[in-house]
Amino acid sequence: MNPIYVSPKEIKKDREEFCTEELRNCSPLVALKFQEGILFLTKNTSAAQNKIFEVYDKIALGVVGYAISAENVKNWLVQNLTLHGFKHGKDSVRAKNAVTQLAELIGGNFLDQSRLLIIELVLGEVDDEKVSSIYRISFDGIVTSSNFAVIPKHENTSAILEHLTANFKELLNFKEAFALALNSLRIGSESDLRPEIIEAAVLDTSIKKEDCKFRRLSLKEIEEHFNSVF
């Protein structure tokens, strides 16, 4: 019996469809710039598992998808950034370089069916000049950069992206950014959002600590901002 030939194009299409379908039920995560930095916000019903992390000084990661894949990639990123900073100095560690490495890792795994990573990422960075950068990395390693990002990307999250595109403006204050992120998720697929199931964090240049600009929002803060929106 002769083996059935499947073209590389068909294999890629099958993997894209598989990853999209597997990510379809993930709660979306939004990241957007505001005046002092970057806000990350998502629905998270798990008290034991975060989706937003500090990975280095002034760099944060948002991730959705398979928990094991997310944890492995997060740990890999932290180790690589820490090692680079130890060898070359903290000032040499930049998100742009990390994004290149992540894209190669995730893209390479996408082409290897036995090591497929079912995740999508947002990497954010602030610097001493109060310049913010947001990078979105899809399950196939494709990178985009913008003032905001939504993961995962599929037809169920298109309304979130449309709302952000229509309403984002530069130099939003934090309250405006929180309201925009929250409304975007509610307009999209997360109409049942409540403060106790929201995970939110910021990279904030106004934080006085020289190295650490990452901060998680407490439930009290989330409740206050949530109630000011609704």
Residue 111 lies in a domain: yes
Residue 203 lies in a domain: yes
Cβ contact 60:214 at 8 Å = yes
Residue 11 lies in a domain: no
Residue 17 lies in a domain: no
CA distance 58 to 161: 25
Residue 176 one-letter amino acid: E
* pLDDT for 9: 82
Residue 124 lies in a domain: yes
pLDDT tens for 112-148 read 766 788 999 999 999 877 789 999 999 999 999 999 9
Q: Which domain holds residue 174?
A: 27-229
In degrees and rounded to multiples of 5, residue 63 shows phi and psi of -145, 140
Nearest alpha carbon to residue 230 among 199, 173, 168, 186: 186
Question: Which CATH number characterizes residue 109's domain?
Answer: 3.60.20.10
Residue 67 lies in a domain: yes
- For residues 165-171, average pLDDT: 94
Across the strands, what pairs with 144?
A: 136
Q: What are the counts of helices (DSSP H) followed by strands (DSSP E) for the chain?
A: 6, 10
Across the strands, what pairs with 203?
A: 38, 214
What is the domain count for the chain?
1
